[in-house]
Chains A and B, each alone.
Chain A
Amino acid sequence: MNTLIDSFYAAVGLIAAGESRLAGIVLLSLRVSLSAVGIAALFGLPLGALLAVGRFPGRQVLLVVIDGFMGLPSVVVGLLVYLLLSRAGPLGPLGILFTPAAMIVAQTILITPLIAALARQIVADAWAEYHEQLRSLGAGPWRASLTLLWDTRFSLFTALLAGFGRAAAEVGAVMIVGGNIDGVTRVMTTTIALETSKGDLPLALALGLVLIALIMAVNIAAHLTRHWAIRRYG
């Protein structure tokens, strides 16, 4: 219990001091996870929409695969991306191992299935409501996908926030492909892991509290967005 109380005070102290290393770590975490969400959205949203609206051979298989990959263990993704990006691997010449770029790649791979699966569900529900009218007006599957993606934008935003939460909270992938290099690839979760392994539990917990606060803020943003959208647009 003492450790918890110590940590709480340590956390407040850290944040109040606006310690620049902490700020750097937090900003890097945000940059990596937000970039991952952005890229994952670019791939995952259209993929989810097409799975919801389209009918093509292999669709069922793809559905099962994506739903399954929602729960990919982050450490496995990290290992696979490491093998890809290592100098000994196929993408070695890119030279991005142990840089934030590698971390973004790993987290993008991790959360794209999640975003695609959530988008599929959201768009499928909207498609069920709209499909006759959209087809009557002459919309083909591509056009309908775009219309539905825009129409469900608020629910999709919530799905993106879920993806962000998953990315910001994971440690397995970024640890392996980033190397936890001080000042370069050290993010909140890997710092927590490091401080824990150094036995500095109050500091680790303090960082943990900051991370939890961040994720909580993101979730509150999600709730408020949904509320506002329903009131405004019905």
Chain B
Amino acid sequence: MMNGERKVFPLELADVCFASGGQRIIENVSLAIDGGVRTVILGANGAGKSVLMRLMHGLLTPTSGEIRWCGRSERAAAQAMVFQRPIMLRTTVIGNVAYGLKLAGVGKEERLARAAAALDRVGLAHIAKRPARVLSGGEQQRVALARAWALEPLVLFLDEPTASIDPGGAQKVERIIGKIAAGGCKIVMTTHNLGQARRLADEIIFLHRGRVAEYSPASVFFAGPRSPEAVSFMKGELP
């Protein structure tokens, strides 16, 4: 059920910098990210992971440098993002899931059907009519995932998706991420949780103070990181 033959990859960042309030947060980041693999951006708190993700997704504009999707400079369509704290509108669960489809111009009957299907995939079909804001954090995050999934994105960005959730809920979320990836959607995720990175990553971008310190396949990275900052991080010496 993928959206046609549109090519959006590789996602290239060319010498991207981002500064805000006089502070340099991202410095000279150059990357080329391909589709298909699950990319995890790892790093200590304050390394700039969230900002880097927002630059990729288009929520922030680089102060200098370029971001290109398959050579084109306009923002790719069919992206979605899930945030650390799930944002729920004051409406029902299914209303929240259908909202993204409504923005995309999908007709009422079709969007309710797709929303219901997405809720079913995340295991929340039984509470479709409940007000979304009274749910637990874990349930809300699953609703957010359903909302993103219903859009059939080519790329899904996730910013510390389980940082605010209990372990049981976190497990469910990770399983859903796996299912989404299995459906052919590219996953780009940030985390500072090593265990989660080990479980989910195919490749690691290690960020330290706004710079890419290392970019390698997960197996290579976890066997033995090359950069000293990554080594310290793995030993638990960085926050």
Q: Which residue of A lies closest to B134 (CB)?
A: A234
* B interface footprint on A131-143 (CB within 8 Å = 1, 0 otherwise): 0110111110001
Give A234 to B54 CA distance when docked, in angstroms: 28
Interface residues of B in 132-189 (CB under 8 A from A): 132-134, 147, 151
Give A157 to B97 CA distance when docked, in angstroms: 26
Contact in complex: A136, B133 (CB < 8 Å): no
Contact in complex: A136, B80 (CB < 8 Å): yes
- A182 contacts B by Cβ under 8 Å: no
Give every chain A residue within 8 A of B59 (Cβ-Cβ): 132, 135-136
**A residues with CB within 8 A of B:** 129-130, 132-133, 135-139, 143, 147, 151-154, 232-234
Q: 27 A-B residue contacts at CB 8 Å?
A: A132-B54, A132-B59, A135-B59, A136-B57, A136-B59, A136-B79, A137-B99, A137-B100, A137-B103, A137-B147, A137-B151, A138-B100, A138-B104, A139-B103, A143-B103, A147-B89, A147-B99, A151-B91, A152-B90, A154-B90, A233-B90, A233-B91, A233-B131, A233-B133, A233-B134, A234-B131, A234-B134
Contact in complex: B103, A130 (CB < 8 Å): no
Give A232 to B57 CA distance when docked, in angstroms: 34
Contact in complex: A151, B90 (CB < 8 Å): yes
Give A129 to B59 CA distance when docked, in angstroms: 15
Interface SS majority for chain B: mixed
Q: Which of A129, A153, A232 touches B131 (beta carbons < 8 Å)?
A: A232
Give every chain A residue within 8 A of B133 (Cβ-Cβ): 233-234
Contact in complex: A133, B83 (CB < 8 Å): yes
Contact of A136 with B131 at beta-carbon distance under 8 Å, contacts A130-B87, A147-B89 already known: no
Q: Would you give the shortest CB distance from B150 to chain A, in whole angstroms? A: 11
- B81 contacts A by Cβ under 8 Å: yes
Q: Which residue of A lies closest to B89 (CB)?
A: A151
Give A136 to B75 CA distance when docked, in angstroms: 11
**B residues with CB within 8 A of A:** 54, 57, 59, 79-81, 83, 87, 89-91, 99-100, 103-104, 131-134, 147, 151
Give every chain A residue within 8 A of B99 (Cβ-Cβ): 137, 147
Give A143 to B79 CA distance when docked, in angstroms: 19
Extra contacts besides A136-B80, A139-B103, A151-B90 (20): CB < 8 Å: A129-B87, A130-B89, A132-B59, A132-B87, A133-B81, A133-B83, A136-B57, A136-B81, A137-B147, A137-B151, A138-B100, A143-B103, A147-B99, A151-B89, A151-B91, A152-B90, A153-B90, A232-B131, A233-B90, A233-B131
Give every chain A residue within 8 A of B91 (Cβ-Cβ): 151, 233
Contact in complex: A234, B90 (CB < 8 Å): yes
Q: Would you give the shortest CB distance from A135 to chain B, in whole angstroms? A: 6
Contact in complex: A132, B83 (CB < 8 Å): yes
Give A147 to B90 CA distance when docked, in angstroms: 10
* Those 5 A-B pairs whose CB atoms lie nearest each other, nearest first: A234-B133, A133-B87, A136-B81, A234-B134, A233-B90
Give every chain B residue within 8 A of A153 (Cβ-Cβ): 90
Q: Which of A129, A130, A137 has the most CB of B within 10 A?
A: A137
Q: Which residue of A lies closest to B60 (CB)?
A: A132
Give every chain B residue within 8 A of A135 (Cβ-Cβ): 59
Q: Which residue of B lies closest to A132 (CB)?
A: B59
Give every chain B residue within 8 A of A154 (Cβ-Cβ): 90
Give every chain B residue within 8 A of A139 (Cβ-Cβ): 103
Give every chain B residue within 8 A of A136 (Cβ-Cβ): 57, 59, 79-81
Give A136 to B99 CA distance when docked, in angstroms: 12
Q: Would you give the shortest CB distance from A100 to chain B, in whole angstroms? A: 36
Give every chain B residue within 8 A of A129 (Cβ-Cβ): 87
